[in-house]
Structure 1
Amino acid sequence: MSLGGGQTTEGSNAGGIFVQFNQDCTSLVAGSSSGYHLFALTPDDGIEEIYASRSGQDTCLVDRLFSSSLVAIVTVSAPRKLIVCHYKKGTEICNYSYSNTILAVKLNRSRLIVCLEESLHIHNIRDMKILHTIRDTPPNPRGLCALSPCVDHCYVAYPGSSAVGEVQIFDAVHLNAKCVISAHDSPLVALAWSMCGRRLATASERGTVIRVFSVPERQRLYEFRRGLKRCVTIACLAFSACGSYLAATSNTETVHVFRLQEGAGGEEGGAGEGEAAAAPEAAATWMGWISQAVTAGKTYLPAQVADVLAQGRAFAAARLPATGHRAVAAITNVARAPRLLVATAAGVLFVYALDAAEGGECALLRQHQFLDAPPHAHAHAPHAPTAHEAAAAGNSYAGALRGRDPTQMTESQRASELGAALEPAPARGPYDLRDPNHFPPMRAAPPAQPAPAPADQ
């Protein structure tokens, strides 16, 4: 995502396809046993494949930088190698090898972050040089980290503890620690930045409470309760581009959407920690009345009871037809109408209508099977290579790419390739003159037949 670019947890993927939306939710990226695929989201709630690598290399991680041609990938056969390529040219720009398995890769227009279990590596996106390494981080087997999409607030969030829900915030431009947020009592499982880079959403292993903090002020702005009865595993948190909504997927069939406004489980306007200052129009509702009653009588209630009653509830929800597959969500506008998009590791994209005024149950509009999951799907978490995989790594995905060998590129050539890849793709209209697939089929004209001789009179 998480939208805009939400962070997901690995390990809950019961399917064989890695799926993720790009930073501005204009496209969907997928890694499968055949390579990686890029899909554009169309104005008619459809999906269109714009690229398929067809390399035959099992791709376990892939991320695209906004709508540019720059793609970062990691394959199962070489889980310690990051490959950066220009997908339109089919060229590999560079590759880097690390001491351990790559668990996550995050991009924005300024930085590229590579997350290992006990370290983070920060690259300059313009030349891919390593600027800084955060070493000896707490054990992070999930590869949990989030990079703000905004270069003006270019923050990296990652777990500061493996025992409690502490979040470390690092400034990836000035290369210094920014702040520490004590978000939860139990370890973190999900993180997501808003598009402005000033709000951070968090969830813990309990899966019942989702919180939103302001950065770097560390103020808790919102607190939402996903449910009361059962603990679940949060798989993805994702802000809408406008910053007004937050979506959460889990290992259940329900996708929750929370509205971020004053009084919706928030602490803005001077409300104390855990309070929900209900909006005036909410007073007429049952939950609004409870919220006002809790606020008025908080001193007479046990602290834990008051906190639970004051937490915000979901504004809208969508039901997935099936569970058991890792799911990522995005909230965007399609033809100026808000949409909730949910992509699963089974290779299915669900498009739901989101009622911005009333919320409630989201209606399923479209369902797209964009890829077929392998019959014996496996979790696409990177793993240490076997001896056979290590021997094959020399002929891995890099050999399948066309064009220049990155090891033989000069610095200026690499900079030129990176500059070309970083350019945003032009907006696609009904017909794209640069795309041969948008031209009508052309057939060679049949050879001219000689005119028949005039009949004798």
Structure 2
Amino acid sequence: MNLSRRNSYHNGLLYAGFNQDQGCFACGMENGFRIYNTNPVKERERQDFDGGVAYVEMLFRCNYLALIGGGDKPMYPANQVVIWDDLKKAPVIQMDFNKDVRAVKLRRGRIVVLFDNSVRVYTFTEKPQQLTVFETSHNPKGLCASCPNSDNSLLVFPSRKFGNVEVVNLANTEVAPLVIHAHKTTLACLSLNPSGTLLATASEKGTLVRVFDTMSGAQLHELRRGANNADVYCINFNVDSTLLCLSSDHGTLHVFALQRPKDKKRPSLAASVGQVVKYFGSTFSTIKLQIPGGARCICAFGSDRNTIVAICADGSYYKYIFDQDGKCSRDTFSQYLEMTDDK
């Protein structure tokens, strides 16, 4: 959630994003960065700078972070990626480019750098070496997802044709990428499930989310957020890929059940609430939550069973509990930006 030009709360927040397993989230601030535990919410680390950080990428819970400067007084230029070692409290790698960097993805052994029209993959070494380059359509959001599973080296990003997604195996880049025809309009959000077997996408219209098999490219699900256009901020799967959540600029969170036709013995939330409503062949969400005040947020499933958390641009944190009947209630509210690491 990049807030560099869109945060009206004047709380210093420039960016918020989860780590690979959503167990932590990082915040870029006008004066440094902060790291929080997601559930229960707790500040774990705070680094104060004399300038702003507009992007923070964690590598699970290890000491390495990728930083990009931003805000009114950037700590680093927009065309530079800094790998920060939080044990040393200092930068250990600096990567300079001739154009602005939109995003960075980290995985063990690789640094993936996103630009407006390309993706570059580097070794995660003291002196990173470029391994490969992929061209993309115009991608100012830096859309990209890397499989968090160390046994799966899939990387997904917008293809050169608007609305398409390329699926690349970084362990064998000589194999031609799989191109998935996801949408007819520009992509707005994409996400991989924890094992890298499923890809979820939303376009700039934001009415539909489609879920694909990353091996074959086959469409498995079409999920309807609503009939009116929306800007989808975030999509995430739960740990066993039976549920999917998303947030949008309508100030709502949606939870969808991903039924498995071949696994009839396994109960799903959708099966429990009765017949799933269909609208032009797409599935509606089984749970819809309204964020108080309609604040912009990112969402993920909590570590507790049947919970969902929202990290909001106004500094608020919400945790909700839902049951197998689709009923939902708020369990926790906090102001995470007001926390300190000794609380």
- With the shorter chain as reference, the TM-score category is 0.7 to 0.9
| Superposed CA offset, 1:182-222 (max 9, x none) | 01111110000001011100001111111110112101111
Query: Alpha-carbon deviation of 1:131?
Result: 3.6
Structure 1: 5+ residue stretches without partners: 1-7, 270-278, 292-307, 373-435, 439-457
Q: Contact 2:18/2:24 (CA < 8 Å) preserved in 1?
A: yes
C-alpha distance in 1, partners of 2:46/2:91? 15
**1:388 corresponding residue in structure 2:** none
Query: Alpha-carbon deviation of 1:12?
Result: 8.2
Q: How many residues are paired up?
A: 326
C-alpha distance in 1, partners of 2:168/2:231? 26
Higher relative CO (Cα under 8 Å, sequence separation at least 6) belongs to 1
Query: Alpha-carbon deviation of 1:24?
Result: 1.1
**1:444 corresponding residue in structure 2:** none
C-alpha distance in 2, partners of 1:38/1:283? 37
Query: Alpha-carbon deviation of 1:364?
Result: 1.5
1:57 aligned residue (51, 55, 61): 51
C-alpha distance in 1, partners of 2:180/2:231? 21
Matched, 1:22 2:34: no
**Structure-2 change in CA distance of 1:166 and 1:48 (3 Å):** same
**1:257 corresponding residue in structure 2:** 255
| Superposed CA offset, 1:1-51 (max 9, x none) | xxxxxxx67788435431011111221110010100011235xxx322111
Give the secondary-structure state (helix, strand or coil) at the position aligned to 2:98: coil
Q: Contact 1:111/1:172 (CA < 8 Å) preserved in 2?
A: no
Query: Alpha-carbon deviation of 1:133?
Result: 3.6
1:365 aligned residue (302, 325, 331): 331
Alignment of 1:30-429 (within 5 A): 30-42=27-39, 46-76=40-70, 77=74, 78-127=77-126, 129-161=128-160, 164-176=162-174, 177-228=176-227, 230-262=228-260, 282=271, 285=274, 287-288=275-276, 308-325=279-296, 327-334=297-304, 337-355=305-323, 357-360=324-327, 362-371=328-337
Structure 2: 5+ residue stretches without partners: none
**Structure-2 change in CA distance of 1:22 and 1:284 (3 Å):** closer
Q: Contact 1:9/1:189 (CA < 8 Å) preserved in 2?
A: no
Residue identity in the other structure for 2:60: F
**Identical aligned pairs, as a percentage?**
24
What CA RMSD, in Å, does the superposition of the two structures yield over aligned residues?
Answer: 2.6
Give the secondary-structure state (helix, strand or coil) at the position aligned to 1:53: strand
Q: Contact 1:74/1:81 (CA < 8 Å) preserved in 2?
A: yes
Q: Contact 1:351/1:364 (CA < 8 Å) preserved in 2?
A: yes
TM-score computed with the length of structure 2 as normaliser: 0.87
C-alpha distance in 2, partners of 1:244/1:49? 30
C-alpha distance in 2, partners of 1:47/1:160? 36
Residue identity in the other structure for 1:210: V
Give the secondary-structure state (helix, strand or coil) at the position aligned to 2:284: coil
**Structure-2 change in CA distance of 1:13 and 1:145 (3 Å):** farther
**Structure-2 change in CA distance of 1:284 and 1:349 (3 Å):** closer
| Superposed CA offset, 1:112-153 (max 9, x none) | 211011121112235562342425422212211111112322
Q: Contact 1:169/1:179 (CA < 8 Å) preserved in 2?
A: yes
| Superposed CA offset, 1:136-178 (max 9, x none) | 422212211111112322122111145x411111222222442
TM-score computed with the length of structure 1 as normaliser: 0.66
C-alpha distance in 1, partners of 2:272/2:49? 58
Looking at secondary structure, tell me which structure has more helix per residue: 1
Looking at secondary structure, tell me which structure has more strand per residue: 2
Q: Contact 2:120/2:133 (CA < 8 Å) preserved in 1?
A: yes
**Structure-2 change in CA distance of 1:284 and 1:91 (3 Å):** closer
Q: Contact 1:203/1:234 (CA < 8 Å) preserved in 2?
A: yes
Q: Contact 1:248/1:329 (CA < 8 Å) preserved in 2?
A: yes
Q: Contact 1:9/1:236 (CA < 8 Å) preserved in 2?
A: no
**Structure-2 change in CA distance of 1:216 and 1:9 (3 Å):** farther
